[in-house]
Amino acid sequence: MEHRRLETVIGLEIHVQLRTKTKMFCGCDNDAEHAPPNTLLCPVCVGHPGTLPSPNAQAIRYAVRIGLALGCKINSPIFFDRKHYIYPDLPKGYQISQFDVPVCGEGRLRVEIPSSKHGDIEIRIERAHLEEDAAKNIHRNGQTLVDFNRAGTPLVEIVTRPDFRSPKEAKAFLQELRRIMRYLGVSNADMEKGHLRCDANISLRPVDERGLPIGRTYYPKTEVKNMNSFKAVERALEFEIVRQTDLWSTNSPPAQTTTRGWNESKQTTELQRVKEDSADYRYMREPDIPPIDLTDAIDEEKHRLPELPAAKRARFKDEYGFGTKDVWALTDEPSTADFVERTMSELVSWLVASPDTDGTPEEIAEAHRHALAKLASTWIGTKLVGVLAARGESISTTDLSPENMAELMRLVFERKLNNTAALTVLEYMLDSGQGPETVMQERQLSSMDDETALGEIIDGILANHPSHVDDYKSGKTVLLQFFVGMVQKETGGKANPHLTKSILEKKLR
Ligand SMILES: [Zn+2]
């Protein structure tokens, strides 16, 4: 058995389902997920003879937007083409797609890999084109049923160059792509729901000590399909590396391009078919759709392009002082990032208006940068997200306003509420839609700041735990936390934690 150093070569093909109002070439609702089977169809999308396709302007805009975000050259004019094959889910016997003039030509995307010391990767995009989706075959009790709701759904197919060197890189790219699609507002990009579908090509190649390929650049690849989550993509590719490494080690590397499907329950890939020739789709221009000029669309979309996730992460670090880990969590969803920004802006305005601060708004924001960043990552990134998740909600669905959230955070900042009480206030705010001050008054949840009252409670606790007091005095100072806990228990979490600590320290001296 020969020992060889092998490098992994991966390329991806991703279908993004666009969230347009109507289908790609007709006026049917583009909402296949929520409608009973075969209720969203018309003569165009089921391919009746004599019907004419009419391209969806919104879908074309979305494709331009995607191309700009991926650094692609945008073509104009563009053409549509017919791709012929016969399958029960394809009503016309051909799919309207794009062959030689796609909306998006070559591009590249830089991807940061979270928690990696290797730095960013840069992935070349080969192209991205528009096409219509096929219908959905449903196999049930030995029969195949066809639901045409999905036929004609607009898709953008993104093809990368084989630039990935590990399954982890492929996964990071896909996750960044999902973020970008959500930031652009063009797709929900939910892999589990099939809004983002990924096929991966993978092969290995021998390399020398310097990492340069020995012999051929590329070897016959395996196309892996049927991966419905980021984790599945990573696992399937890891499985393929092991399988193909075994083949190389017996001097029998894959000789032909094959298609394998990921079996989620077995956690293996299984042979689907061997490709003998590249399929002949007999591409021809779609004669019913004239060339489409995109000059205006490109110009307008360029001006309308939102801040993308990578830029947002960099700015959040820079402007608010968030740490790397917090930044990933706070910018993963555009709705969360917006919520954070609006809340931060409220908090800064309040600080500026407060009699306790002076200086310009920038100076004041800078002076409290660290405290505000910590407050936001704790209260939005962890607590609010957690409380909402427990209710089956998220920041994008909640009615809670950034103004009310900022006010709650301000009360924590001013130590008028301790963390325990603030969490209770937050729950009541979500239940009632009221602001934190109203909730606190109605429920009497304000922090206990009365030094005399707290002192009396503390005296009682110390009297009841004489041995703990002795242990503390003989050096076991970690017991302070035990006493703080007792005070919080006694006061139902209302005691001001800082005041509690200082009284305890005084009394235990
Ligand atoms: Zn239709």
DSSP conformational letter for 40: S
DSSP 284-331: EE-TTS--B--HHHHHHHHHHPPPPHHHHHHHIIIII---HHHHHHHH
Checking DSSP bridges between strand 94-97 and strand 107-111, what pairing results, if any? unpaired
Residue with the larger pLDDT of the pair 507 and 448: 507
Measure 279 CA to ligand 1 centroid, in angstroms.
28
Per-residue DSSP letter, 422: H
Nearest Cα residue to 165 out of 103, 99, 92, 241: 241
Q: Is the pLDDT of residue 87 over 50?
A: yes
For residue 448, the CA-to-ligand 1 centroid distance in Å is 64
Mean pLDDT of 156-169: 97
| Domains, in order of start, for the chain | 6-302 (no CATH), 334-443 (no CATH), 451-507 (1.10.10.410)
Tokens 């959905």 found at: 136
pLDDT in tens, 215-229: 888 999 999 999 999
**Percentage of the residues of the chain whose pLDDT score is greater than 70:** 98
Residue (of 329, 328, 338) closest to 307 by Cα position:
338
The contacts of residue 304 (CB under 8 Å, 6+ apart) are 65
Answer yes or no: is pLDDT of 239 > 70: yes
How high is the pLDDT of residue 234? 97
What's 78's DSSP letter?
B
Cα 60 to ligand 1 centroid, rounded to whole Å: 17
Q: How far, in Å, from the CA of 93 to the mean position of ligand 1? A: 16
CA distance 429 to 402: 12
How far, in Å, is the centroid of ligand 1 from the Cα of 312?
38
- What is the 31 CA–ligand 1 centroid distance (Å)? 12
- What pLDDT, in 10s, does the model give residues 129-142? 999 999 999 999 99
Distance of CA 87 from the midpoint of ligand 1 (Å)? 19
Distance 42 CA to ligand 1 centre (A): 4
Question: Tokens representing 148?
Answer: 């045409």
The better pLDDT of the pair 2, 359 is held by: 359
* Sheet order of strands, 94-97 included: 94-97, 81-84, 284-285
pLDDT, average across residues 427-454: 84
- Ligand 1 (ion): which residues have CB within 5 A? 26, 28, 42, 44-45
* Predicted local confidence at residue 1, as pLDDT: 43
Q: Within a 10 A sphere around the Cβ of 318, how many other Cβ atoms?
A: 9
Calpha distance 82→95 (Å, rounded): 6
End-to-end CA distance of the chain: 74
C-alpha distance from residue 330 to each of 69, 243, 323, 384 (Å): 21, 38, 10, 12
